[in-house]
């Protein structure tokens, strides 16, 4: 696959954009015309060449600019990267997982040469050519987790497993949808899932936790999550609410197609071999509504999903203020025709 990496911003003038190919491969999250919260976990196996599911870790046209945006966030706020001391080994696990997978999936961009513990890593899009000693922190410019995260799209949380629970004890979180690593670090699975309405009543988290405690090496799983954002802003963190919260009041039916973005997270979960920790990548994809409606099925379906979304879920996803404008905009693209099953374009 030959792609050119976009030069674009996720703040200020917001020059982020999707090519026609990026629109066609957008991971639209709704397989039917309504949405219910559920444990929609499936094996993270490769399928549909060209889609975001082809490779274990998807790299797309936004790679270089997303990594640059992450560097900006980390420079302003170093607490977006944290690792409790017992998580160092999990950081090396993560570095190994990404380097081996990226070099296998995209040999034209990434190369890894291992000679015992002497590792040579080449990252062509970012112009990196480093040699280091595996498991020796002093041979890298950052800790192992932060080193590889500064070359990766998406947020990553590292979950330690002990006392029959999972603990968010490390992570690099710079593109999050309104949650905070600094607030959640050290919390267990139930605590950091605290605020989701309905899900607790359904026992969703108890079942999910049980499942994750038994997650096996070599059998990663994935799920999609979604919300909406005003402008293609990656960093909608609570720390920066003052910067993005006010944007919601500017959305009108006339500008909703341009201002409003569907934000989809491709989340996966992997058991790490050395540390027995779990890594939880949260990869974010953004698409403007005006781009989304170029796929007629998606325009119709998103209109129906948002129209019928229970108020408490709309509230939880922060959509209460913008939903009327979005619905008015999307209704132009919903002629009432039947939609086909599944998430892919017709």
Partner 1 sequence: MTKSADRTPKIDVRVTQIVDVTSEIKRFRFEPTDGKPLPVFAGGAHVVVEMEDGDTLRRNPYSLMSSPGATDAYNISVRRDPGGRGGSMFMHDRVTVGSLLRLSHPVNLFPIDRRARKHLLFAGGIGITPTLAMMSELARYGDAFELNYAVRSENDGAYLDQLRNTYGKRVSIYRDDQGEQIPLTTLLAAQPLGTHLYVCGPGGMMNWVLSTAEGLGWPAQNLHSERFLAPPSGSPYEVRLAASDLSIKVGPHQSMLEAIEAAGVDAPYLCRGGACGQCETRVISFDGTLLHNDHYLTDDEHAGGQKVMPCVSRFEGRELVLDR
CA distance 166 to 174: 21
Candidates 223, 248, 271, 283; catalytic one? 223
Query: Cβ 330 to partner 1, closest distance in Å?
Result: 41
> CA angle, 247 as apex, 243 and 251 as ends, to 5°?
175
Query: Cβ 91 to partner 1, closest distance in Å?
Result: 12
The DSSP-derived string for 236-290 is: B-GGGHHHHGGGGGG--TTTHHHHEEEEEEEEEEEE-TTT--EEEEEEEEEEEHH
Contact residues for partner 1, defined by CB under 8 A: 86-87, 89, 96, 135, 160-163, 210, 214, 216-219, 273-276
Cβ neighbors of 88 (< 8 A, separation 6 or more) are 137, 143, 144
Query: Cβ 273 to partner 1, closest distance in Å?
Result: 4
Nearer to partner 1, 216 or 341 (CB): 216
CA distance 260 to 256: 5
223 catalytic per annotation: yes
Query: Cβ 216 to partner 1, closest distance in Å?
Result: 6
Nearer to partner 1, 127 or 218 (CB): 218
- What is the β-pairing status of strands 81-83 and 165-172? antiparallel
- What is the β-pairing status of strands 42-43 and 221-230? antiparallel
Nearer to partner 1, 135 or 321 (CB): 135
Residue 177 is given by DSSP the state B
Residue 85 is given by DSSP the state G
Residues designated as active site = 223
């Amino acid at each position: 696959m030959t792609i050119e990496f976009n030069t674009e911003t996720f703040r200020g003038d917001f020059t982020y954009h999707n090519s026609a190919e990026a629109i066609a491969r957008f991971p639209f999250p709704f397989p039917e015309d309504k949405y219910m919260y559920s444990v929609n976990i499936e094996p993270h196996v490769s399928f549909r060449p060209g889609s975001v599911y082809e490779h274990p870790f998807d790299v797309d046209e936004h790679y270089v600019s997303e990594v640059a945006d992450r560097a900006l966030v980390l420079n302003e706020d170093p607490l977006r990267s944290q690792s409790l001391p017992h998580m160092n080994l999990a950081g090396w696990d993560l570095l190994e997982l990404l380097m081996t997978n990226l070099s296998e999936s995209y040999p034209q961009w990434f190369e890894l040469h291992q000679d015992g513990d002497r590792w040579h890593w080449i990252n062509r899009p970012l112009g990196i050519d480093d040699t280091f000693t595996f498991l020796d922190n002093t041979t890298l410019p950052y800790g192992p987790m932060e080193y590889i995260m500064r070359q990766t799209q998406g947020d990553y949380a590292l979950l330690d497993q002990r006392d029959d629970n999972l603990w968010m004890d490390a992570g690099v979180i710079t593109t999050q949808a309104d949650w905070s690593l600094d607030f959640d670090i050290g919390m267990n699975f139930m605590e950091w899932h605290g605020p989701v309405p309905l899900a607790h009543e359904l026992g969703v988290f108890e079942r999910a936790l049980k499942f994750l405690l038994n997650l096996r090496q070599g059998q990663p799983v994935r799920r999609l999550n979604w919300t909406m954002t005003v402008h293609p802003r990656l960093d909608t963190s609570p720390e920066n609410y003052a910067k993005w919260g006010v944007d919601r009041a500017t959305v009108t039916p006339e500008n909703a197609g341009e201002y409003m973005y569907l934000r989809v997270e491709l989340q996966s979960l992997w058991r790490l071999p050395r540390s027995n920790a779990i890594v939880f990548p949260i990869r974010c994809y953004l698409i403007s509504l005006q781009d989304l409606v170029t796929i007629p099925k998606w325009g119709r379906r998103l209109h129906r999903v948002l129209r019928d979304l229970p108020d408490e879920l709309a509230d939880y996803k922060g959509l209460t203020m913008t939903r009327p404008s979005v619905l008015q905009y999307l209704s132009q693209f919903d002629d009432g025709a039947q939609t086909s099953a599944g998430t892919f374009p017709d």
